[in-house]
Amino acid sequence: MNRKEDSSAIEWVQKVWGKLLWGLFGMIIIYPIWPSFFPYHPIKDFWETTGNLTEWFIGSKYLFIWAVFWGLVGLFKNLGRNISNSSFTEKIQQGFRNSLYAGFFEEILFRWILLYGIMITLYIGNWFLGGFLGEDWGVIQWLHNLIKAPIANFFTFGYLESEINHSLWYAGAAVIVTNGLFRDGHKYQGWFGWVNSWFGGMFLFYIMFNYGLIPAIIIHFSYNMTLYLFEAFVSLFNRRSIF
């Protein structure tokens, strides 16, 4: 990363850190006081799983087809190019560490904790921007119902329609806003990575809402590891060395 990218990353971490604390405040303090405000139980609706490992991966087949496609593109594009001094084994080890970190911490952060804080923030912000006049008067609620929700639902092919168009509008809006933060954390990957992470994040929301947070962690880890595996093969073919 150059200085500009490093500064951008620090700003993003600071922004997310504040929302992390706010999310924990919502789960630990606000939920016990006002549980009806939140549409999801902080434990049962996230950490209880449905289905089995086979069903999770079958449900994620399009995500892995996408990963294999771009992995092959990168493999053929970089064959014969000295783009890394790492060996096959080093790439696998690096990929495992990074994939484990991303799968575990990013899913817990973006598919669980941040949702609670952002729901509170959206509700309060909407109240100050007209919501105090009555139901359906808030500007943020209008923007979500008339613009953001239809666009997000269109680009996710209706897979998250019930969540995006939740009867508690701020719950659906929180999914979109949280995923926007997840997307912004991938700006260092360029415009393609920025766009790709938005779609990937929404798909992981689909996995979480349908199967649970643990399946989302496993799928996220496996998706990243698939991409790293192709990078490792580039190192293997170009350096002819495993160690």
125: burial class by Cβ within 10 Å (0-12, 13-18, 19+)? Answer: middle
Q: In degrees rounded to 5, what are phi and psi of residue 239? A: -105, -15
Q: At what angle do helices 61-78 and 190-211 cross, to 10 degrees?
A: 150
In angstroms, how far is CA 230 from the centroid of its own chain?
A: 22
Q: How far apart are CA 177 and CA 11, in angstroms?
A: 17
| Average pLDDT in the chain | 89
User: Distances from the Cα of 34 to the Cαs of 41, 86, 163, 183, in angstroms?
Assistant: 12, 52, 21, 30
Q: What is the pLDDT of residue 243?
A: 43
pLDDT of 10 above 70: no
| Predicted pLDDT of residue 80 | 61
Which carries the bigger pLDDT value, residue 15 or residue 136?
Answer: 136
Kindly state the DSSP code that residue 189 receives in the 8-state scheme: G
pLDDT interval class at 119 (50, 70, 90): very high
Cβ 27 vs Cβ 20: under 8 Å: no
pLDDT tens for residues 174-194? Answer: 999 999 999 988 888 888 889
Is-contact 183 201, C-beta < 8 A? Answer: yes
Question: H helices of the chain, where?
Answer: 3-25, 31-33, 44-47, 53-59, 61-78, 88-101, 107-108, 114-128, 139-143, 149-155, 161-164, 169-184, 190-211, 213-239
Residue 3 above 80 pLDDT? no
| Structure token digits, residue 108 | 């817990």
Question: What integer is the mean pLDDT of 38-49?
Answer: 96
Distance CA 50, CA 68 (A): 26
CA distance 100 to 111: 16
pLDDT digits (tens, 9 = 90+) for 149-164: 999 999 999 999 999 9
- φ, ψ at 79 (rounded to 5°): -60, 130
